[in-house]
Amino acid sequence: MLDMRLCFTATTVFLALYSTVVHADHPSRKSLADKHAPAGIMGDHLHDKGEWMVEYKYMVMSMEDNRIGETTISDQDAIGPAGPPGGIVVDGIQTNGGATPTQMTMEMHMAHIMYGASDDITLYTMLMMPALTMDHIRGDGNPAGRGGEFTTHNSGFGDTSLGALLRLYSTDSQDLLFNLGCSVPTGDIYRESTAPTNGMMSQPLPYPMRLGSGTFNARPGVTWKYFRDWWSGGVQFQTDLPIGRNYRGYSVSDEFRLNSWTSVLLTDNWSVSLRGEHLWRTDYDGSDPTADNLVISTNVEEFRGGYWYNLGIGTQVMARGHYFNFEFVPTIAQDLDGIQLETDYSVIASWSKAW
Ligand SMILES: [Cu+2]
């Protein structure tokens, strides 16, 4: 499995190198259906001076079942055997005494605006509206008793990303861009819920149910795209790096994404794409003093990191100036720190228009 992933990345990087040697110059080649990268990629293209683009993008990620490292475990194993103190010990940390998560749906509505400040610099901003839903089963340490199910929900504004895409190098058939990006902590990171204890007490929502990071994040990235007669491809390295700690005393994961993709034109206005994504996240730094490890695994800073490999199967359609981008993204490998919910798949769809 690892060999297959490395092979896919190596192949797409090789195609990129090859295309720089034998490239087909075609003046309008960058304006066909594969002009944007697959839907899961951002910051991959520039706009001409004075050109605007608006985009609405929707993403839904489905997570079900707990996993320790690379091994899926049952919900009953995740809340541990009956009797005090409740919960299980993972990596030396006692957790899930109050409840275990069993599944999560993460939806994200995104409003994206791009503007060509010059032919070499495109400015952008993106407003995020997450909607998070997590299902649980109560554990032995819960005052409401073992075994009951409950759901928590949170939605609102997330963090806002903004930045500039800078052209480092271009020919008629390729672009090398630097993303000078950041995010601003507009998303709420502290809300409480009485659902876990069936109304007996109010507790803060754990880390993955919070809307923002609470920190300013640096988000530098580099993208290289290349175009051939009937296909194109790209490689992108994109980061998300929290700066310092937020007012609750912690910082979210450093995130690193290495993507490579190939798009094939079926017609000038319709393309299909295949993308491979390596995603690494570190554990959280610091600690929110109200995030009690014993209560639930989603409170544990050491249980936030890991490695994921996602495959993106997509299509892009241009029709009368409207651009539609769709991707189905199954997670085909993951190695999680501690115990966490495993990711099954994401679906990403967007509409955009430039003028
Ligand atoms: Cu754009």
DSSP, residue by residue, 269-291: TEEEEEEEEEEEEPPPEE--TT-
Domain 2-354 listed as CATH 2.130.10.10: no
pLDDT confidence of residue 171: 93
Q: One-letter amino acid identity for 149?
A: E
What residue segments make up the domains of the chain, in order of their start? 2-354
* pLDDT greater than 70 at residue 2: no
Ligand 1: distance of its center to the CA of 270 in Å?
18
Give the pLDDT confidence of 163-192 residue by residue, as tens digits.
Answer: 999 999 999 999 999 999 999 999 999 999
Ligand 1: distance of its center to the CA of 102 in Å?
37
* pLDDT greater than 60 at residue 20: no
The C-alpha atoms of residue 13 and residue 234 are separated, in whole angstroms, by 8
Ligand 1: distance of its center to the CA of 172 in Å?
18
* pLDDT greater than 80 at residue 25: no
Ligand 1: distance of its center to the CA of 114 in Å?
5
The C-alpha atoms of residue 8 and residue 2 are separated, in whole angstroms, by 10
Give the pLDDT confidence of 215-254 residue by residue, as tens digits.
Answer: 999 999 999 999 999 999 999 999 999 999 999 999 999 9
The total of other beta-carbon atoms located within 10 Å of residue 346's CB is: 21
Q: Are 131 and 107 in contact (CB under 8 A)?
A: yes
**CB-based contacts of 247: which residues, under 8 Å, 6+ apart?**
214
Ligand 1: distance of its center to the CA of 35 in Å?
10
* pLDDT greater than 90 at residue 208: yes
Ligand 1: distance of its center to the CA of 55 in Å?
8
pLDDT confidence of residue 288: 96
Ligand 1: distance of its center to the CA of 162 in Å?
13
- 3-class DSSP state of 249: coil
CA-nearest of 11, 19, 8, 6 to 224 is: 19
Ligand 1: distance of its center to the CA of 219 in Å?
18
Q: Using pLDDT thresholds of 50, 70 and 90, give the confidence band for residue 83.
A: confident
pLDDT confidence of residue 77: 94
Give the pLDDT confidence of 274-325 residue by residue, as tens digits.
Answer: 999 999 999 999 999 999 999 999 999 999 999 999 999 999 999 999 999 9
Q: Using pLDDT thresholds of 50, 70 and 90, give the confidence band for residue 8.
A: confident
Ligand 1: distance of its center to the CA of 185 in Å?
23
* pLDDT greater than 70 at residue 18: no
Ligand 1: distance of its center to the CA of 325 in Å?
12
